[in-house]
Chain A
Amino acid sequence: MREASGTVDLLSLIGSAIEQLQQCINLFEGEDRSGGVQHLTTVIRSIGTYLEQLDADPIVQLAGVDPASLADSLHHVQSDLSSVVQQVEHHPTPS
């Protein structure tokens, strides 16, 4: 996934996001909270970047996916992940 610049396609985004989220769970379970949050933030940002370019993604057009409902789903993922970041940041660090 090319995060900051260039084109991003949906499948690259998803593949990378799933990988990051799984790493993120592993980091949290290894009590590396900041590492976990970093991965979550990266995913949130990547989705944001992708959403800006969604209309130009040839995969979306090829697959006949409705861009509006796709954007809704991705916003939903973003919002869930943002609430996790918030929750983790406000959750007291285990002793």
Chain B
Amino acid sequence: MSCPKPGPLAPLNNEELIERLRSAGAGEEAIELQNEIVQRNIGLVKSIAVKFISSGEPLDDLIQAGYIGLLNAAANFDLARKTRFSTYASYLIQGEIRHFVRDKHTTIRIPQWVQMMNRRVKEAEEIFFQQHGRPPLLSELAASVDLTEAQLTALLRGRESMTYVSIDQDRRSSDPNPAPPQTEHLLVESDALPFDARMKILLAIEELTEIQRTVIRGLFYQGMSQSEVGEELGISQRQVSRVKQRVLDDLRGSLFDPPES
């Protein structure tokens, strides 16, 4: 198979294509230049679109939304600034896809594990502050919630992304060339286990410990005697006693409150 012959636009980089697009007006040449810019940056759009695949929207639709962001970037890019077009375009593509996803969902569904981890991080921050009189360092906070620093960074950036969407829109309309956010660590994962999978396991552990706490509360705080409980359940007082002993044994070996060595 022979390679397609390079066209006259081939030697131009993104910035030069945009410069030419500005002077091309609205004719056929402008369309050709726009197509060239889209073709050049298909990979960029796709790579950003796949990060939103967990939204449940079809990848093709996410890519289409990304193209709108790409064309907006081509229209608004400020050549006088020394920023690379791809950097600026990444930001607008991401913004456009995020708007698309948000419009498709009347409410943003925050995964349960994200809510759980955010709650845990907030509690850890408060406890640390009370103990040390200062906010924790990233490393200290990560250690206290059993995450790596990279994972905690991803979680915190995710939390930030849920709250700055509307500001994002304002910035986009008022500033055609806003500074891009640092998003390269957004999807940092463990090499061996996807980040959200790890969180789901932690959530399962938390749910199990919650059930365990409920059981303990029920067993020890209902105020009935062993005989009364046994009578109500149709089992002997001795069986009730054995069950309670089992519970106490389990508590001694409790995994979420291990004895200090």
Contact = CB atoms under 8 A, between A and B. Distances in A.
Interface stretch (B8-16, B92-100, B168-176, B191-199): B191-199
A10 B255 contact: no
A59 B204 CA distance: 21
Nearest to B244: A62
Contacts of A24: 201
Nearest to A88: B197
Nearest to B148: A29
Nearest to A93: B192
| Interface residue SS majority, chain A | helix
A19 interface: yes
A15 interface: yes
Interface centre among B194, B210, B233 (most CB of A within 10 A): B194
A94 B192 contact: yes
B243 A28 contact: no
A18 B215 contact: no
Contacts of A11: 212, 215, 246-247, 250
Contact of A15 (B191, B217, B253): B253
B207 to A, nearest CB: 5
A38 interface: no
B256 A9 contact: no
A77 B208 contact: yes
Contacts of A94: 191-192
A25 B198 contact: yes
Interface residues of A, number: 43
B247 A91 contact: no
B46 interface: no
B211 A28 contact: no
A42 B244 CA distance: 27
A19 B192 CA distance: 20
A61 B232 CA distance: 9
Contacts of A40: 201
B229 interface: yes
Nearest to B233: A61
The 9 A-B residue pairs with the shortest CB-CB distance in the complex, in nearest-first order: A63-B218, A28-B193, A63-B215, A31-B192, A84-B197, A94-B191, A64-B218, A77-B204, A80-B200
Given A11-B246, A59-B215, 16 more contacts: A15-B212, A18-B205, A18-B208, A28-B193, A31-B192, A33-B192, A58-B239, A58-B243, A63-B218, A73-B207, A73-B211, A77-B204, A81-B200, A87-B196, A88-B193, A94-B191
